[in-house]
Amino acid sequence: MAEPLSERSQKILEVIIEEYIATAQPVGSRAITQNHAINLSSASVRNVMAELEEKGYLASPHTSAGRIPTEMGYRFYVDTLLRINDLNYQQKDQIEQHYHRRGLQMSDMLREASRALSSVAHYTGLVMVPRLKVTVFRQIEFVKLSPRQVLAVFITQSGMVQNKLIQLDEELTGQELEQITNYLNQTMKGLSIQEAQARIVAEMAHEKALYDQLLQRAFKLSSAALIDETTGDVIIEGTSHFLEQPEFSDLECMKRIVQTFEQKRTLVDLLDRSLQTEGVQILIGSETEYSEFSDCSLITAAYSGRHGTLGCLGVIGPSRMPYSTIIPIVDYTANLISRLLEGEQDLGE
């Protein structure tokens, strides 16, 4: 456990981190005494800085006499010292203007959320696309492609469409497929996919299904159609913001980050993990568990619909990001998306 910091040490650490966030330059004692209301001599400030470095909160770059925050310093700052700003009217309006267009489907809404996060925060915006299992059933259609091959077209309440090829154990006539389609659409409409899958399992265990061949086929088909085999997806906007940060001026470093964005698997995993946490979550550097993001921070929050949590959104940027302004942007966007998906608000009106 880290040694407790005195009030004086906490104040010096806070000033150094906020100065470094603003300038991206190592902070010396002269900048602290000249630019901030610190009633200490430069010599006293240097002594405190040396103590903070010894305890692991600050580091000294080889090319400078100043100090920069360590990951441990950022974590202490975020957990103990941070004062979060309220969004002003202009920032809220900048986020909300992405949703004034009527008839937005969920996919459009999530794309706009990623754009809004990027444009307002000036970092890279990330939005996790909901997995099939947490979406709400609206309609399913079966298209016969060959005697024993069917294309299942599944549509969610929010307009997402998923196609899946299903190999049949036995041939089904067009009439049988139509009967199965009608039954499933009447029985499953309005249920989440998890609820629909649970109902299918329960119905298949019911004695009636054992004697009704058509029902058995309906449950087999729907069970196969609703299996979620996707690895997940994430919408990314504003990767060019990384180019604006001095921390990522190294070409090899930038290439690794861009490749990670293109592959998406790492981002999906990070956002998946964030789903387990209520409120805003902040991962700093090695806390992401990925070396590609050792100099980055990820700020996330979950968004929900009428049937519970659907996904996660957030902002990724350098560890030297203004947490006090980025946290409320992420939180407000997640709450806005949740209200829209739950049908409590229509910004088009």
The CATH number of residue 282's host domain is 3.30.450.40
So what's the pLDDT on residue 120? 94
**Is there a single domain that holds both residue 241 and residue 328?**
yes
CB 56, CB 72: distance < 8 Å: yes
Assess if residue 20 is contained within a domain.
yes
Q: Is pLDDT larger for residue 156 or for residue 94?
A: 94
User: Quick check: 126 pLDDT over 80?
Assistant: yes
User: Quick check: 348 pLDDT over 50?
Assistant: no
pLDDT (tens digit per residue) in 199-234: 777 776 665 555 567 777 777 777 777 766 556 789
So what's the pLDDT on residue 150? 86
**Is there a single domain that holds both residue 255 and residue 244?**
yes
So what's the pLDDT on residue 148? 83
d(CA 338, CA 106): 11
Assess if residue 55 is contained within a domain.
yes
Assess if residue 240 is contained within a domain.
yes
Structure tokens at 320: 């030297």
**Is there a single domain that holds both residue 45 and residue 166?**
no
pLDDT (tens digit per residue) in 51-93: 999 999 999 987 667 899 999 999 999 999 999 989 999 999 9
Which of 198, 225, 252 is where one domain is finished?
A: 225
Return the percentage of the chain with pLDDT > 90, whole number: 38
CATH number at residue 197: 3.30.390.60
Assess if residue 348 is contained within a domain.
no
Structure tokens at 314: 């957030």
Assess if residue 41 is contained within a domain.
yes
Average pLDDT estimate for 88-107: 81
Average pLDDT estimate for 181-207: 76
Which of 225, 252, 284 is where one domain is finished?
A: 225
**Is there a single domain that holds both residue 252 and residue 122?**
yes
Assess if residue 1 is contained within a domain.
no
CB 282, CB 34: distance < 8 Å: no
Assess if residue 349 is contained within a domain.
no
Which of 176, 208, 225 is where one domain is finished?
A: 225
CATH number at residue 73: 1.10.10.10
d(CA 98, CA 113): 8
So what's the pLDDT on residue 347? 46
Number of structural domains the chain divides into: 3
Q: Is pLDDT larger for residue 7 or for residue 222?
A: 7
Average pLDDT estimate for 161-174: 82
Predicted TM-score (pTM) of this structure:
0.78
Average pLDDT estimate for 110-121: 93
**Is there a single domain that holds both residue 126 and residue 138?**
no
So what's the pLDDT on residue 230? 57
**Is there a single domain that holds both residue 107 and residue 241?**
yes
pLDDT (tens digit per residue) in 281-300: 999 999 999 988 989 999 99
So what's the pLDDT on residue 349? 39
Mean pLDDT, the chain, whole residue set: 84
So what's the pLDDT on residue 299? 97
**Is there a single domain that holds both residue 306 and residue 279?**
yes
**Is there a single domain that holds both residue 245 and residue 119?**
yes
Question: What range defines the domain where residue 58 resides?
Answer: 7-81
24-28, 173-177, 324-328: range with highest mean pLDDT: 324-328
**Is there a single domain that holds both residue 119 and residue 156?**
no
**Is there a single domain that holds both residue 19 and residue 145?**
no
User: Quick check: 106 pLDDT over 90?
Assistant: no
CA distances from 247 to 261, 270, 296 (A): 17, 21, 9
**Is there a single domain that holds both residue 324 and residue 288?**
yes
**Is there a single domain that holds both residue 149 and residue 298?**
no
Q: Which of 139, 123, 157 is nearest to 322 (CA)?
A: 123
pLDDT (tens digit per residue) in 246-283: 888 888 888 888 888 888 888 988 998 888 778 899 99
**Structure-derived torsion over alpha carbons of residues 203, 206, 207, 210, reported in degrees to the nearest 10:** 40
